[in-house]
A and B are shown apart, each in its own frame.
Chain A
């Protein structure tokens, strides 16, 4: 900061020193080549009293006139101004310099300070924003980790639940299958028993029918008489 201020002061001083050191006398006759030549030619016309041929002759033959004309082509000192210009310029410069030191420099300094302060605050804000962003990022990462953990836990729970459901379904299916097998076995057993009973009834019916026919055919009068006698004997024998 201090170096910058020194450089700001040094620049105009060096310019002033340069101007003064290389300053030379300004051209006395005039400021420009055209004006100088016009002035010389007017001077020749006045000396010749309006005789242009004489003037032309002077310009071609008179060495002195030619030197004076050529003198117009010598450039004035480009660095050293006129003394009055130096005075006015110096005064203006000093006034400007004082104004700059009194007014411009504080304004520039204030602007620079404000800009530095703004940049600093921007940097601080950026730093804060970066910290905030890092905090947010950390928060996101934490949440992401939590979400991953939660997802993993949910997947594990779902897997456990699915295993449980599968085990339940298998157990139920096995129980149902066992029940169906038992019922089928019981029904088969019942059907078998019913078939045996039906067959037995059928066989006994056929056998009894045959026996009845045999008995009927064999019951002649003699047998009937013996049966009645046997019955009477039985009634008489079984007293009471």
Chain B
């Protein structure tokens, strides 16, 4: 967490996005890309492969994000991959998200759900977490089919698990 490389890259990405003036959109796109990288081993290994020339790897990024994400987002990802830090990109993005939320005096609530949450549900969830923990949070949704149904919320080290998967696991434990 306190890896200075990760922190340094996160600070740099935060500064660039803020300077470009579309921090929220870039942050959100970076978060989604990081989640995709986490869940796709092939993509992660390809982008992190030092045997592949940096230009080739950056071309892959351009092919994936070009025209779909903001130019700033594509440029930042291309920069990180070109620097050979693709493996650390998810951690860098997490640090960026936390840094961004901290700049607004908020914490990050990572919400894993089988389906995306509506804007209304995100607001209600942020309010509910605030009510429960007394902390202002920004909700970041991660689509995770293994959850099956319901939601798992992680705020720092705290986990609020209301997933169907957990209930099934509880049922499995009760059979033993």
Contact = CB atoms under 8 A, between A and B. Distances in A.
Contacts of B171: 208, 211
A235 B175 contact: no
A208 B172 contact: yes
A155 interface: no
Interface stretch (B13-21, B36-44, B70-78, B125-133): B125-133
Interface in A4-52: none
B58 interface: no
A223 interface: yes
Contacts of B114: 219, 224
Chain A interface helix/strand/loop/mixed: helix
B68 interface: no
A236 B162 contact: no
A229 to B, nearest CB: 7
Given A208-B171, A219-B164, A235 B128 contact: yes
B125 A232 contact: yes
Interface in B109-135: 113-115, 117-118, 121, 124-125, 127-129, 131-132
A232 B127 CA distance: 9
Interface residues of B, number: 26
Given A204-B176, A229-B121, A215 B129 contact: no
Contacts of A228: 113, 115, 117, 121, 150-151
B153 interface: yes
A13 B65 CA distance: 185
A233 B132 CA distance: 11
B148 A204 contact: no
Interface string A131-165: 00000000000000000000000000000000000
A233 B150 CA distance: 12
Given A223-B149, A234-B162, A200 B129 contact: no
A235 B128 CA distance: 6
A239 B150 contact: no
Interface in A191-224: 200-201, 204, 207-208, 211-212, 215-216, 219, 221, 223-224
B168 A240 contact: no
Given A232-B128, A235-B132, A236-B128, A208 B175 contact: yes
Interface of B: 113-115, 117-118, 121, 124-125, 127-129, 131-132, 148-151, 153, 160, 162, 164, 168, 171-172, 175-176
Given A208-B171, A215-B164, A227-B164, 8 more contacts: A201-B176, A207-B175, A215-B149, A225-B115, A232-B128, A235-B125, A235-B153, A240-B132
